[in-house]
Amino acid sequence: MRRLVFWFDLASTYSWLSAMRIAPLAEAAGVEVVWRPFLLGPIFRAQGWETSPFNVYPAKGRHMWVDLARQAAKRGLPPPVRPEPFPARSLLACRVATALEGAARADFVRACFGAEFARGADIADPGVLAPLCGDAALAAAETPAVKAALREATGEAMARGIFGAPSFTASSMAGEALWWGDDRLEDALAAA
Amino acid sequence: MRRLVFWFDLASTYSWLSAMRIAPLAEAAGVEVVWRPFLLGPIFRAQGWETSPFNVYPAKGRHMWVDLARQAAKRGLPPPVRPEPFPARSLLACRVATALEGAARADFVRACFGAEFARGADIADPGVLAPLCGDAALAAAETPAVKAALREATGEAMARGIFGAPSFTASSMAGEALWWGDDRLEDALAAA
- What is the distance between the alpha carbons of residues B180 and A55, in angstroms, rounded to a whole number? 17
Say how far residue B134 (Cα) sits from the centre of its chain: 20
Residues of chain A found within 8 Å of residue B67, distances taken between Cβ atoms: 179-180, 184
**A179 interface with B at CB cutoff 8 Å:** yes
Give the strand order in the sheet containing A31-37.
A31-37, A2-8, A167-172, A175-180
Residues of A in contact with B66 (CB under 8 A): 178
Residue A187 touches partner B, C-beta closer than 8 Å: yes
Q: State the pLDDT at residue B1.
A: 64
SS3 content of chain A, % helix, strand, coil (to 5): 60, 15, 30
Interface test with A, best of B14, B43, B47, B156 (most A CBs within 10 A): B47
- A67 contacts in B (CB within 8 Å)? 179-180, 184
Weakly modelled stretches of chain B, pLDDT under 70: 1
Q: Does residue A53 carry a pLDDT above 90?
A: no
A54 contacts: CB under 8 Å, gap ≥ 6: A13, A60, A61, A64, A86, A87
Is residue A148 pLDDT above 80, yes or no?
Answer: yes
Strands A167-172 and A2-8, sheet pairing:
antiparallel
Distance in angstroms (rounded) separating the CA atoms of residues A126 and A121: 11
Contact A6, A191 (CB under 8 A): no
Nearest to B92 by CA among B132, B156, B142: B142
Per residue in B108-152, pLDDT (tens digit) is: 999 999 999 999 999 999 999 999 999 999 999 999 999 999 999
* Out of A42-46, A160-164, A179-183, least confident range: A42-46
Which residues on adjacent β-strands are paired with residue B34? B5
Q: H/E element holding A2?
A: strand A2-8
Chain segment A60-109, per-residue pLDDT in tens: 999 999 999 999 999 999 999 999 999 999 999 999 999 999 999 999 99
ipTM above threshold 0.85 = yes
Q: CB of B86 within 8 Å of any CB in chain A?
A: no
Residue A173 confidence (pLDDT): 81
Element (H, E) at B3: strand B2-8
B69 touches chain A (CB under 8 A): no
Are A183 and B180 inside 8 Å of each other by CB?
no
Q: Please state, rounded to an integer, the average pLDDT across all residues of chain A.
A: 95
Of B51, B163, B151, B35, the C-alpha closest to B91 is B151
